[in-house]
Amino acid sequence: MRNLDELDVTEDITRFYQPELARVIAKQRLTTMMVLLRLQLASGELLDHSPGQFLQISLPGYGEAPISFCSSPTQTQSFGLCVQAVGNLSEAMHELRPGDFVGVRGPYGHGFPIEQMRGRDILCVAGGIGLAPLRSLINYVADRRSEFGRMILVYGARTPAERLFKDDLATWDARDDFETLYTVDNPSEDWTGRIGVVTIPLRDEVEIDPSRTTAAVVGPPVMYRFVAAELLAKKMAEDDVLFSLERRFKCGMGKCGHCQLNDLYVCQDGPVFRYTQLIGRSEAIEVWAPEDERE
Ligand SMILES: Cc1cc2nc3c(=O)[nH]c(=O)nc-3n(C[C@H](O)[C@H](O)[C@H](O)COP(=O)(O)OP(=O)(O)OC[C@H]3O[C@@H](n4cnc5c(N)ncnc54)[C@H](O)[C@@H]3O)c2cc1C
Ligand code: FES
């Protein structure tokens, strides 16, 4: 895969915007709104991504958008993308079948700082579709289990039917070396698990050693300030709290300014940021959690 560091804007910009072809090799419907696609580069090259990074995905006539890897880089023969049908491109991606092709650019962005997380306890807090990028990290930790401390996952979905990756949820829950806390906002009649937003089990049931814990948080923007408050109440350092941000991207590689957040480019400096980087950048979290969106 081409290395973004090689980019010479005057000579190579077209080359770097040029997508490569990737073939869909498997498709699985996860919920009414979500499909999981497994892909391989048509060139046979392997993608070398980090958990938390994304690809710019394109389909001629439908556009281009960033989609996070939901597979671990330890799985090298193919990569996974979990797509929610919300608009032009993503709805067209729901119609893809094995054998079809998409355009891909990337991997782009700064994902989770794996090297600095090694040896530490990992606390993942996922809301809704936020489980997709975190699945990449969680399965990385699962495949390199001895290199990390505790693995704690707190996952909240709106309803039991909207829970993603139900097979993975069961697998992680069954592991002795994973601590899982799953909750839903609106239970179905047959739901026997926790009820309530993700911050409730996080606050009431998760005990951590803040000095050795890194938290990775991905979910709807409204969740972030409340999760941050709970983590800081547990005496976590702001530097050890990681958030993945979403913005509307165009180039995806720090050239167009479309995703700018004050002096940061979300696509290039993120999408994963330490909470420390976001403090004082009021648009990062606060504007996304207006009073009327809170429970
Ligand atoms: C780093 C990153 C990772 C992501 N990972 C994933 C992922 O793993 N899976 C996934 O499903 N999605 C992911 N997304 C979100 C995805 O890129 C967007 O939902 C994308 O817009 C979908 O493209 P589309 O053409 O299908 O929808 P669009 O046509 O772009 O429409 C999507 C929604 O945005 C609204 N919209 C359209 N134009 C604008 C505008 N100019 N300003 C504001 N709102 C507008 C539309 O009304 C619609 O509600 C990620 C985004 C980022 C930034
Ligand atoms: S999307 Fe172009 S700079 Fe981020």
Write the pLDDT tens digit of every residue in 222-251: 899 899 999 999 999 999 999 999 988 999
CA of 224 to the centre of ligand 2 (A): 22
Q: Whose CA is nearest to atom 39 of ligand 1?
A: 248
Q: Quick one: pLDDT at residue 76?
A: 81
CA atoms within 13 A on the CB side of 54: 28
Ligand 2 pocket mutation pick from 9, 245, 256, 273 by most atoms within 8 angstroms of CB:
256
CA of 247 to the centre of ligand 2 (A): 9
Region of 142 (left: φ > 0; alpha: ψ -120 to 50; beta: rest) is alpha
Residue 3 predicted with pLDDT over 80: no
Q: Whose CA is nearest to atom 19 of ligand 1?
A: 86
% residues pLDDT > 70 (the chain):
91
In this prediction the pTM is 0.92
More confident residue, 12 or 244: 244
pLDDT (average), residues 270-294: 71
CB of 107 within 8 A of CB of 136? no
Residue with tokens 């969680």: 138
Rounded to whole angstroms, how far apart are CA atoms 134 and 273? 14
Contacts of 197 (CB under 8 A, 6+ apart): 156, 183, 185, 223, 226, 295
- Retrieve residue 55's tokens: 């690809």
Residue 9 predicted with pLDDT over 90: no
Q: Is the CB of 246 under 6 A from ligand 1?
A: yes
Contacts of 52 (CB under 8 A, 6+ apart): 68, 109, 110, 111, 112, 133, 136, 137, 216, 244, 271, 272
Ligand 1 pocket mutation pick from 39, 90, 242 by most atoms within 8 angstroms of CB:
90
Q: Which atom of ligand 1 is nearest to the CA of 248?
A: 53
CB of 152 within 8 A of CB of 206? yes
- Over the stretch 202-214, which tens digit does the pLDDT of each residue have? 999 999 999 999 9
Rounded to whole angstroms, how far apart are CA atoms 219 and 51? 15
Q: In this structure, which ligand is nearest to the CA of 83?
A: 1
Q: Quick one: pLDDT at residue 290?
A: 41
Cα 248 to chain centroid distance, Å, stands at 15
Residue 293 predicted with pLDDT over 70: no
Mean pLDDT for all residues in the chain: 91
Residue 177 predicted with pLDDT over 80: yes
pLDDT (average), residues 65-94: 95
CA of 142 to the centre of ligand 1 (A): 29
Q: Which atom of ligand 2 is nearest to the CA of 259?
A: 4
Beta strands in the chain (DSSP E): 20-29, 34-41, 54-59, 63-68, 79-84, 101-108, 121-127, 151-157, 179-184, 194-195, 213-218, 241-244, 260-261, 264-265, 272-274
Q: Which atom of ligand 2 is nearest to the CA of 249?
A: 1
Q: Is the CB of 54 under 6 A from ligand 1?
A: yes
Q: Is the CB of 270 under 6 A from ligand 1?
A: no
Which sign, positive or negative, has the C-alpha torsion 64, 82, 133, 114?
negative
Cis ω for the linkage preceding 107 (within 30 of 0): yes
- Retrieve residue 289's tokens: 């959690």
Ligand 1 pocket mutation pick from 62, 248, 251, 261 by most atoms within 8 angstroms of CB:
248
Q: In this structure, which ligand is nearest to the CA of 65?
A: 1
Q: Quick one: pLDDT at residue 99?
A: 97
Q: How confident is the model at residue 286 (pLDDT cuts 50, 70, 90)?
A: low
Q: Which of 167, 207, 169, 201 is nearest to 185 (CA)?
A: 201
CB of 64 within 8 A of CB of 90? no
Q: Is the CB of 107 under 6 A from ligand 1?
A: no
CB of 120 within 8 A of CB of 213? yes
Q: Is the CB of 59 under 6 A from ligand 1?
A: no
Q: Is the CB of 60 under 6 A from ligand 1?
A: no
Residue 79 predicted with pLDDT over 50: yes
Residue 10 predicted with pLDDT over 70: no
Q: Is the CB of 88 under 6 A from ligand 1?
A: yes
Rounded to whole angstroms, how far apart are CA atoms 209 and 145? 19
Residue with tokens 């081409």: 2
